[in-house]
């Protein structure tokens, strides 16, 4: 069986780079502690002086969905994803003074939008950023953050501690559902974003042959 199509899907959904020195570490909202644990590791290795976790809670649930893994370690009562992620960072000896706050976002696009508002308010110039996320969430996260930070070079550093990875996603129904669900969301969400951009920018779609 020809599996080249799997490689192409993998390369699209799972962008990944080795960490490099950056201005900030972005962590999109999540109930998985591994994101903040890895963010703390990157901070302690000197890759960036600031960390910005982002997130209120899931727009679908209308509340924080709870700690998704390692509940025996992180058993607190958290109201927002940001509060949870900050707790994980602090437990891993990241100083509170370097943890920035964004606790309004309810989905990934808002993570990027509101994070940009935070860094703009602080007059931060972000030339290079590390994006710390789940492996299967990497492409969608990167697309949104690139959209809001068009002049920033991103280094995508997915967490290593994940059940669904670029190596095994196609081997289980859960993995394929997750990956193709990401592909579908990218198509649906960016279809709407492109519509808004056409309207706001006044693109002449007829001349583009669209």
The predicted-structure confidence for 148-202, as pLDDT tens digits, reads as follows 999 999 999 999 888 999 999 999 999 999 999 999 999 999 998 988 888 887 7
- Report the alpha-carbon distance of residue 8 to residue 144 in Å, rounded: 21
- Helix intervals (H) in 14-167: 34-44, 81-91, 108-121, 138-148
Please answer whether residues 94 and 43 qualify as being in contact, where contact means their C-beta atoms are separated by less than 8 angstroms.
yes
Q: Can you count the helices (H) and strands (E) in the chain?
A: 6, 4
pLDDT in tens, 69-118: 989 999 888 999 999 999 999 999 999 999 999 999 999 999 999 999 99
CB neighbours (10 Å) of residue 25?
A: 31
Strands of 128-131's sheet, edge to edge?
Answer: 51-53, 24-27, 128-131, 153-156
At 203 the pLDDT is 66
CATH topology for the 16-163 domain: Rossmann fold (3.40.50)
For 107-134, what is each residue's pLDDT tens digit?
A: 999 999 999 999 999 999 999 999 999 9
């Amino acid at each position: 069986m020809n599996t080249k199509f799997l490689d192409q899907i993998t390369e699209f959904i799972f962008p990944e780079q080795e960490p490099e020195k950056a201005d900030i570490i972005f962590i999109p909202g999540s109930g998985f502690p591994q994101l903040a644990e890895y963010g703390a590791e990157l901070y302690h290795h000197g890759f960036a002086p600031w960390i910005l976790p982002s997130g209120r809670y899931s727009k679908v649930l209308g509340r924080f969905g709870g700690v998704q893994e390692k509940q025996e370690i992180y058993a607190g009562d958290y109201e927002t994803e940001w509060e949870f992620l900050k707790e994980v960072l602090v437990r891993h000896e990241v100083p509170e003074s370097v943890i920035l706050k964004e606790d309004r976002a309810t989905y990934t696009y808002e993570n990027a939008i509101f994070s940009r508002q935070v860094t703009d308010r602080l007059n931060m110039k972000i030339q290079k950023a590390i994006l710390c996320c789940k492996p299967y969430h990497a492409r969608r996260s990167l697309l949104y953050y690139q959209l809001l930070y068009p002049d920033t070079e991103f280094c995508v550093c997915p967490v290593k501690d994940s059940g669904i990875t670029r190596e095994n996603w196609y081997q289980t129904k859960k993995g394929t559902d997750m990956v193709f669900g990401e592909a579908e969301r990218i198509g649906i969400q960016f279809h709407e974003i492109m519509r808004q951009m056409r309207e706001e920018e006044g693109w002449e779609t007829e001349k583009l042959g669209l």
